Amino acid sequence: MQTALLLIDVQQSFVHRPYWDPTKVPAFVERCNALLDGAAARGVPVVRIFHTDGPRAASNPFAVESGLIRPLDGLAPFDASATFEKHRHSALVGTGLMVWLHQHGIRRLVVAGIRTEQCCETTTRHASDEGFEVDYVTEATLTFEMATPGGGRLTAAQIRERTETVLAGRFATICTVEQALQRAR
């Protein structure tokens, strides 16, 4: 089964968000780089997804005009098989990605990127509903602590666990980097 790696929103824009936690980044980048290295060694195409939205102004880190719609510092350089800009949570909405996947005979997706519970999870659910097999590589996703509507706090670890819980067995196979690469054949 033909596999592609979707690297979602691993971009410099996030560094300029108030919730950015640089202490979480080295492990995340290391896991992304291991995934990229393994994909290259196996001939797995890598699709880069960038998120853009909001006002088109240099002051908006998610606007092209900011100069921050570029790979996150520390991410190993790689030749993307395709690059798409998205304006919604799912990388499959309004990007042309679905057409590209079908044209290339892709039936399995490996999902990694920023944010675990937002764009990565939404893309995973959408892809599963569209009939793709999805390997969700939690250790190669990144998220941040969040406030709950009731005034509590969820740690990034709790958010990752919740995401794995709702995806596992229904929308995706939860994998380590090594497991996803082994399944990519």
Interval 162-173: pLDDT, tens: 999 999 999 999
- For residue 138, the domain's CATH number is 3.40.50.850
pLDDT of residue 47: 98
Confidence category of residue 115, pLDDT binned at 50, 70, 90? very high
Percentage of the chain modeled with pLDDT above 70: 99
Domain range spanning residue 165?
Answer: 2-184
Region 52-58 average pLDDT = 93
pLDDT > 80? residue 110: yes
Contacts of 31 (CB under 8 A, 6+ apart): 112, 137, 139, 140, 177
- For the chain, the residue count is 185
**Average pLDDT along the chain:** 97
pTM to 2 decimals? Answer: 0.96
pLDDT in tens, 66-79: 999 999 999 999 99
pLDDT of residue 1: 67
Look at the chain and report how many structural domains it folds into. 1
Contacts of 78 (CB under 8 A, 6+ apart): 36, 40, 46
* Residue type present at position 2: Q
